[in-house]
A and B are shown apart, each in its own frame.
Chain A
Amino acid sequence: RRIMATVSVCKYYPGGFSFDNCKRNALLEADISKLGFSSPAARKTGTTICGVVYKDGVVLGADTRATEGMIVADKNCSKIHYISPNIYCCGAGTAADTEMTTQIISSNLELHSLSTGRLPRVATANRMLKQMLFRYQGYIGAALVLGGVDCNGPHLYSIYPHGSTDKLPYVTMGSGSLAAMAVFEDRYRPNMEEEEAKRLVRDAIAAGIFNDLGSGSNIDLCVITKGKVDYLRPHDVANKKGVRTGSYRYKHGTTGVLTKTVTPLNLEVVEESVQTMDTS
């Protein structure tokens, strides 16, 4: 009697993303500080971002400060990202994460739009963003305000790093979101006119800029309506660099010269170029 015994040991591949390195990194982070070094801080957009649905569309707003720890890394960064001609997305959290995530979804949405032959819908962008962020279980630190106008009207979503979304008429995100939300809760009305909506968003971002340390500089606005987008950057330069009242320049001859030695260096100039530093 022949017995066919098939003992197959199927290795069970659990599948899914492996987050083991994240735990390792957290332990390394703790060890590094014991040795006296500090790991480079990720550049974050401290941020106040917000959006509001009004009569003809949506208005998105953002401040323009990017921080690295307690230092301002960029005084005029752009936080309102392009997703598609009718959809824009503000990003708070880790600057690199918001930038790359919105670019990836923008790219995929363009391909999707070519495949369907239709203008992309805000709900589609929302689905793509939430499914990606959920897949990475919150390790991609991108908190987004997604707004746009499509065939079903104006839509506004807030998207959290773990992948949960809320569809609301007005939303705020970022470290200055409480200040901005206070302004919205006071003055929001359904079906506002464009000027009123722009004023409301501008004031909400201003509340974040002046009351939150993580937000600052200028206010950018993006007004999206059916068929038209107004990208107003900057809409309001709320923080102009001041002019010094006094001058600390000393007159020539203030410091007495004791000796002077000139040593010529015989160099051949091969190429000369001037690069100016943006000190604005």
Chain B
Amino acid sequence: MATMLQKFPSSVSTLNDYNALYPDWTQREVSTGTTIMAVEFDGGVVMGADSRTTTGAYIANRVTDKLTPIHERIFCCRSGSAADTQAIADAVTYQLGFHSIELDEAPLVQTAASLFRDMCYRYREELMAGIIVAGWDRRRGGQVYTVPVGGMMTRQPVSVGGSGSSYIYGFVDSNYKPAMSKEECLKFTAEALTLAMERDGSSGGVVRLAVISEQGVERQVILGNQLPKFSTV
């Protein structure tokens, strides 16, 4: 793997032809190309993500788990640079755990989202991270907060993110109905992710789903051959 993951200036790289010996993907940073999604329903949230991590054109991990636990009933979906989002998630997990012990009660989803926002905004020049924070707490039930690159934070009933999200805004906007049940949300999320994975080269693998509610967290995996089928010409 190459040392400097910045591209060599063209004068240097042509002279020594380093790029020929080490293929493109050894010089690119690991990124979660990604499609991520989260939906609120009455009583909880449904979160979903694909499972592909790429370095350039090579798939470094085809079974990634992008739904990362931050606290017992708070998860986050990670998109962008794998290193940045892992580091941020680890830092926020620590901060939220400490805060929860101080409070002696379960933390709010909004608190977790604020911690993500603070970090993503403060270091916005250095980071490349698009995160969706979702979970359940006693005060406000199921909530989804989105923290895209740049460090904005806003609550949304439905949120999509990652490179594959561009392909499914139409599907999501037309198929989302307020007050869906848990099963409808699961079907909606799985279908949206499938469509994005079908069209986006940086998304693929399996669909990972998580349902967070007062009862706890239920996780599922939908393998490639079990994905919902859409007729494509």
Report A's interface with B, CB cutoff 8 A: 22, 26-27, 29-30, 33-34, 38, 41-42, 44, 46-47, 69-70, 92-94, 97, 130-131, 133-134, 137-139, 141, 143, 158, 160-166, 168, 173-175, 178, 213-214
Contact = CB atoms under 8 A, between A and B. Distances in A.
23 contacts: A29-B8, A30-B11, A33-B11, A38-B16, A44-B2, A47-B1, A69-B16, A70-B21, A130-B83, A133-B83, A134-B83, A138-B5, A139-B3, A139-B4, A158-B60, A160-B30, A161-B1, A162-B5, A162-B30, A162-B82, A163-B83, A164-B86, A175-B26
B63 interface: yes
Nearest to A47: B1
Nearest to B14: A33
B83 A162 contact: yes
B215 interface: no
Contact of B61 (A22, A163, A168): A168
Interface in B2-39: 2-6, 8-9, 11-12, 15-16, 21-23, 26, 29-30
A41 B12 contact: no
A213 B17 CA distance: 14
Given A70-B21, A166-B60, A138 B12 contact: no
B82 A164 contact: yes
B152 interface: no
Given A33-B11, A44-B3, A168 B63 contact: yes
Given A33-B12, A70-B21, 19 more contacts: A26-B4, A30-B11, A33-B15, A38-B15, A46-B22, A93-B1, A134-B87, A137-B126, A138-B5, A141-B4, A141-B5, A160-B83, A161-B3, A161-B5, A162-B83, A166-B61, A168-B61, A168-B63, A175-B1
B30, B63, B84 pick with most chain A CB within 10 angstroms: B30
Interface string B62-80: 0110000000000000000
B21 A141 contact: no
B29 A46 contact: no
A30 B87 contact: no
A93 B6 contact: no
Contacts of A42: 3
A92 B12 contact: no
B86 A163 contact: yes
A162 B15 contact: no
Nearest to A134: B87
Nearest 7 CB-CB pairs, A to B? A141-B3, A164-B82, A162-B83, A164-B83, A163-B83, A143-B1, A93-B1
A160 B82 contact: yes
A143 B29 CA distance: 12
B143 interface: no
A250 to B, nearest CB: 39
B53 interface: yes
Nearest to B7: A26
A133 B5 CA distance: 13
A30 B29 contact: no
A139 B5 CA distance: 7
B58 interface: yes
Given A44-B3, A138-B29, A165-B86, A175 B23 contact: yes
B81 A174 contact: no
B21 to A, nearest CB: 6
Given A38-B15, A161-B1, A26 B86 contact: no
A156 to B, nearest CB: 12
A191 B82 CA distance: 29
B208 to A, nearest CB: 14
Contacts of B2: 44, 93, 141
A47 B23 CA distance: 13
B16 to A, nearest CB: 7
A162 B83 CA distance: 6
B1 A26 contact: no
B64 A166 contact: yes
A92 B64 CA distance: 22
Nearest to A185: B62
Given A164-B30, A165-B86, A174 B4 contact: no
Contacts of A130: 83, 86-87
A130 B126 CA distance: 17
A38 B15 CA distance: 9
Contacts of B30: 160, 162, 164
Contacts of B64: 166
Nearest to B64: A166
Contacts of A131: 87
A170 to B, nearest CB: 11
A38 B14 CA distance: 13
Given A160-B30, A163-B87, A213-B21, A174 B1 contact: yes
